Amino acid sequence: MTELLFLLLPVAAAYGYVMGKNSAKNQALELNRQITSQYSKGLKYLLDREEDQGLEHLIELLEVSADSVEHYLTLATLFRKRGELDRAIKIHELLLNQPNLSASDMASCRLELAQDYILAGLLDSAEEHLVVLVKNHNVEALDPIINLYSQMRDWRKGINMYESHRELFTKQQHFAAIANFYCETALADDNSKLMEQACALEHNIVRPFYELGKDAYSKQDHLKAIYYWRKLIVANTNTAPLYINELEHSYHALNLKHQFDDLIEELMPKGGVLIRIKYCQALLEAEEQQKAIEFLTDSLKREPSIRGFSFLLQLLGNNNHRIKDVLSEIDKLVTSYIATKPEYQCQHCGFTSHTLYWLCPSCKHWETIGPSKGLDGY
Ligand SMILES: [Zn+2]
């Protein structure tokens, strides 16, 4: 109930405004009497714990205090935080119907009302208001409407919105969402053209390149698999664990192993334990075992990694057959430890998982989950 005392502020403001503007003393007094009467009624209801009627009376005062919209928005936000969505919705709807509302207040109000509807599960009503905002070039409506279409799994509507209002899109997160809308539609319709459209978004997007490479690889179109995965690994080395073994196989299949080795050398400065392991494997193939051990030992000192340590144990075992069995037992322990660690982590909220999700189940951001980093990661 204390939140309703917020309404004292607009009433006081309205009173001051009316008194200042109106030189006719009697008119001012009459208006004052009406406001005071209305306010007293509202307050009395509230004190009698009849909050619904109290709210009605106080909301009626809006007509004479339209310049105090902010206070009402604050009040509605408080109701929403307390889970009283019906009241938040009521205030926002009444505010929206005020004829004197400025365009910016109306937009704020519409945005808030859409949020109320989303929380109340009234997604169609929320969409209606958000669409109006997007049509009015309101960038703030992008986050909620993208989240809404993700929730509704209505990828087509999301794509249509993007194609009609490209000028509003500037954030990486929004491009990632739209790219994934294209991917979801492409997978559902088995239409790789849409996936290629997503690649054209050119905003460090991951999934369409990954999916196109995966699709080509499954069809043994190794040239195409290399084309997409190479682009992806150069732009975003962190994604390597998702496909690096298959990429290597594609190079092998086309007798282009030397090109894969060149690629690994090119990627070395960008780091990642898998890249370093692939580099060591190339040294082993060139029968430079000692050089591989020294390289890996040195790199593990600078950047410790359990996966790198596991590979070092294998190298040392192969180099010294007397202790190979002991090292092999230690490696088994290390490998089983690694298996308990989640392979993927969200860079936005920290959510961890053994499964790769393109849409984080926790923070609802697209493409923020990738292979884990750090000591236990890649
Ligand atoms: Zn997250």
Q: How confident is the model at residue 204 (pLDDT cuts 50, 70, 90)?
A: confident
Q: How far is the CA of 376 from the centre of ligand 1 (A)?
A: 19
Average pLDDT of the residues of the chain: 88
* Angle ∠(13,14,17) on CA atoms, nearest 5: 85
Ligand 1: distance of its center to the CA of 31 in Å? 54
> Does residue 64 register a pLDDT over 60?
no
CA 242 to ligand 1 centroid distance, Å: 19
36/370: higher pLDDT = 370
- From CA 343, how far away is CA 274, in angstroms rounded? 13
For residue 217 the two structure tokens come to: 């690889």
CA 218 to centroid of ligand 1, rounded, Å: 30
Which regions of the chain does DSSP assign to beta strands (E)? 344-346, 352-353, 369-371
Q: Work out the percent of the chain whose per-residue pLDDT is above 70.
A: 84
Say if residue 12's pLDDT is above 50: no
Q: What is the pLDDT of residues 210-247, one digit of tens each?
A: 999 999 999 999 999 999 999 999 999 999 999 999 99
pLDDT exceeds 50 at position 16: no
Q: How far is the CA of 374 from the centre of ligand 1 (A)?
A: 17
What pLDDT score was predicted for residue 212?
A: 96
Confidence of residue 62 (pLDDT cuts 50, 70, 90): low
Confidence tier at 192 by pLDDT (50, 70, 90)? confident
Residue matched to tokens 């109290």: 54
- Residue 117 Cα, ligand 1 centroid: separation in angstroms? 23
204 Cα–ligand 1 center, Å: 18
Residue 39: pLDDT over 70: no
Distance 373 CA to ligand 1 centre (A): 15
Report how far ligand 1's centroid is from the alpha carbon of 158 (Å): 21
Residue with tokens 């929320």: 126
List, for residues 268-327, the tens digit of each pLDDT value: 998 799 999 999 999 999 999 999 999 999 999 999 999 999 999 999 998 888 888 888
Q: Residues 6 or more apart from 108 whose CB is under 8 A from it?
A: 69, 73
Per-residue CA distances from 337 to 5, 277, 310, 373, 376 (Å): 58, 19, 10, 16, 9
**Which two structure tokens, joined as six digits, stand for 183?**
């991917």
Report the distance separating Cα 211 and Cα 234, nearest Å.
16
Taking the whole predicted model, whether its pTM rises above 0.85 is answered as no
Contact assessment for residue 207 and residue 179, using Cβ atoms and an 8 Å cutoff = yes
Q: What is the dihedral of CA 76, 77, 82, 87, to 10 degrees?
A: 20
User: How far is the centre of ligand 1, averaged over its atoms, from the C-alpha of 325 (Å)?
Assistant: 42
What the block records as the tokens of 115 is 């949020």
How many angstroms separate the alpha carbon of residue 349 from the centre of ligand 1? 4
Structure tokens at 6: 């917020």
What is the reported pLDDT for 284?
94
What is the DSSP pairing of strand 352-353 with strand 369-371? unpaired
CA of 345 to the centre of ligand 1 (A): 8
Q: Is the pLDDT of residue 122 over 90?
A: yes
Label residue 37 exposed, middle or buried (CB < 10 Å: 0-12, 13-18, 19+).
Answer: exposed
